[in-house]
Amino acid sequence: MTEPILAPDEIEALMAEVAPSEQVDAMFASLPPIRQPEKVDSFHFDSSDEDSPDRYPMFVNLQERLVEMLDEQWDELFNGDITIQVSRLENNLYKDLITTDKPQVYFVFEVEDYGRMLFTFDTAIIVAFVDAMLGGEGESTDNPQTLSPVELRLSERIAEKMATLLSDLWAPVHALTFKPYKLDYDPQFLAVTGAMEKCFSAQFEATISDELTGHLGIHYPRSFLEPMLELLRVTLSDEPTETDTEWTDSLMQRISKTPAEVRFELGRCQIDIGTFLSLKEGDFLPLKARQTDSCLLWIEDIPVFKARAGEQNGVLAAEIVNNIHPGD
């Protein structure tokens, strides 16, 4: 026999609000016995967090765009077909994000007036990243726990590139300038946000090679996103809209005045870490390219022209030979 839904003293307390005790007693005396249900299932209020990242279409779209940007950059860096995909979107407590036994590298970025956010990488991915930056095949040792001093130093360059990538990622939604704040593989002193604050998290899986698959994650504290939540609720529409030529012309004018970094790469060589650390003033690095060979001219991280080194008015110059992407 299960317990009554309301105990007698609870019923009496409720009825006391209706009438004096004498009238209540008279009312109960005139009523037939109340039949109790044979079984009452326990009821629990739904404690699930409905405010999850996948309820914000623009936030979801940003993560899909991030995959495209990383895929494009990493294909070029690793000189191969890198696969990156979103594995899950979650709403996590910050303390749960930094409580893990798996070796990770933590990149903290700061945006003025908005606060800090976190990018996490499996340590093996960063080791492979540094190996590729030094001209290697993008390999990693088995289950690396920490980074060497050289790897840690070069990771600062990775952080700078990630800051630029994040700024470009958010530009169509809201102008944010991300700056590297801290880089560490010990998460206890990152000072991103409070331990119990909820964070919108996107977890990604990256396949670097047949031997190396790792994970990375991007985590925004709720306080960081709060000023932009209304923008992130916007639903993308596939319906065709009328083209606003005035707006397009204005956009093209602004784009044409946007500065772009042009880089002329004369050649590359591969050396081991020992040789790199022993380099001194006056040393030479042999490049495979000959003086007459055409080299690559880059706009940001995209090779655009083949060019030949030359001189104009006493200044080193790059003479354009042809367009790598004809018709663009």
Q: Is 42 helix (H, G, I), strand (E, B) or coil?
A: coil
256, part of any domain: no
38 and 59 fall within a common domain? no
24 and 155 fall within a common domain? no
71, part of any domain: yes
107 and 211 fall within a common domain? yes
- 84: CB partners within 8 A, 6+ apart: 67, 70, 71, 74, 204, 205, 206, 207
Q: Looking at residues 25-38, what average pLDDT do you find?
A: 73
7 and 153 fall within a common domain? no
Report pLDDT digits (tens) over 220-256: 999 999 999 998 988 655 444 555 677 777 778 878 8
Query: Per the structure, how many domains does the chain have?
Result: 3
223, part of any domain: yes
92 and 204 fall within a common domain? yes
Instruction: Output the domain CATH number for residue 83.
Output: 3.40.1550.10
- 322: CB partners within 8 A, 6+ apart: 305, 306
162 and 13 fall within a common domain? no
DSSP state of 3: P
80 and 160 fall within a common domain? yes
- What's the pLDDT score for residue 240? 47
Provide the mean pLDDT of the chain.
Answer: 84
212 and 287 fall within a common domain? no
Of 176, 207, 241, the residue that ends a domain is 241
Distance CA 148, CA 155 (A): 10
285, part of any domain: yes
252, part of any domain: no
For the whole model, what pTM was predicted? 0.59
Instruction: Please report the sign of the dihedral spanned by the C-alpha atoms of residue 180, residue 260, residue 267, residue 70.
Output: positive
Q: Which domain holds residue 291?
A: 262-323
Of 241, 275, 293, the residue that ends a domain is 241
pLDDT band at 61 (very low <50, low <70, confident <90, very high): very high
48, part of any domain: no
